[in-house]
């Protein structure tokens, strides 16, 4: 039995829910990246009656202000920046964001292989630099040994000459 002038209760779930949002976007150095954000959100209970008719929200991807190196090295900073932007945007829809994190970040295969080739080239350059330094150290050591041997031979020759000439060399001076 229902009373006609009383509305039916509508039950909303106000627990925190995860959502993965994949996106393909260009970054500041014109590289295309695949990024997936994990968003933990929940509705604000006090605003649910107001937004009953307005379900959902749309997140627009804008061109990133970061380059590839920053995306790799400063993930937490970028997550914080995205969190601030999305928190402002979803507040108008009565949602609270508990956490935003980057769960997946990948570049185009061409860019990834170029970065790998660059790293290999840098490692080869470091290896060559090490070998050059090693060879220079070895040559320096050999030069020191040769100089010491020559000095020893010269001292022996002077000693032999003094032994053979006895006092003749001293008298000549």
CATH number at residue 26: 3.30.479.30
46, 52 in Cβ contact below 8 A? no
In a domain, 159, yes or no: yes
Compute φ and ψ for 34, nearest 5 degrees. Answer: -105, 125
Distance CA 173, CA 64 (A): 88
pLDDT single digits (tens) 11-61: 667 788 888 888 887 877 777 888 888 888 777 777 666 665 454 333 334
Taken in order 111, 114, 118, 119, is the CA torsion positive or negative?
A: positive
140 pLDDT band, cuts 50/70/90, is very high
Are 135 and 102 found together in one domain?
A: no
Q: Tokens for 35?
A: 């990024």
In a domain, 122, yes or no: yes
pLDDT single digits (tens) 84-131: 888 887 777 777 778 777 778 788 888 878 888 999 999 999 999 999
Q: How many domains does the chain have?
A: 2
Residue 33 belongs to what domain range? 17-107
Are 71 and 147 found together in one domain?
A: no
């Amino acid at each position: 039995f229902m009373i006609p002038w009383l509305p039916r209760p509508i039950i909303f779930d106000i627990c925190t829910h995860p959502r993965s949002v994949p996106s393909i976007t260009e970054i500041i150095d014109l590289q295309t990246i695949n990024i997936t954000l994990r968003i933990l959100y929940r509705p604000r209970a006090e605003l649910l009656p107001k937004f009953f008719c307005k379900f959902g929200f749309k997140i627009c991807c804008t061109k990133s202000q970061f380059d590839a190196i920053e995306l790799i090295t400063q993930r937490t900073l970028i997550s914080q920046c995205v969190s601030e932007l999305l928190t402002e945007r979803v507040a108008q829809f009565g949602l609270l964001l508990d956490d935003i994190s980057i769960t997946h970040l990948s570049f185009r295969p061409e860019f990834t292989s170029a970065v790998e080739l660059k790293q290999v080239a840098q490692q080869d350059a470091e290896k060559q630099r090490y070998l050059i330094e090693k060879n220079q150290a070895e040559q320096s050591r050999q030069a020191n040994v040769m100089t010491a041997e020559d000095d020893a031979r010269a001292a022996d020759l002077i000693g032999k000459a003094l032994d053979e000439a006895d006092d003749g060399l001293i008298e000549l001076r």
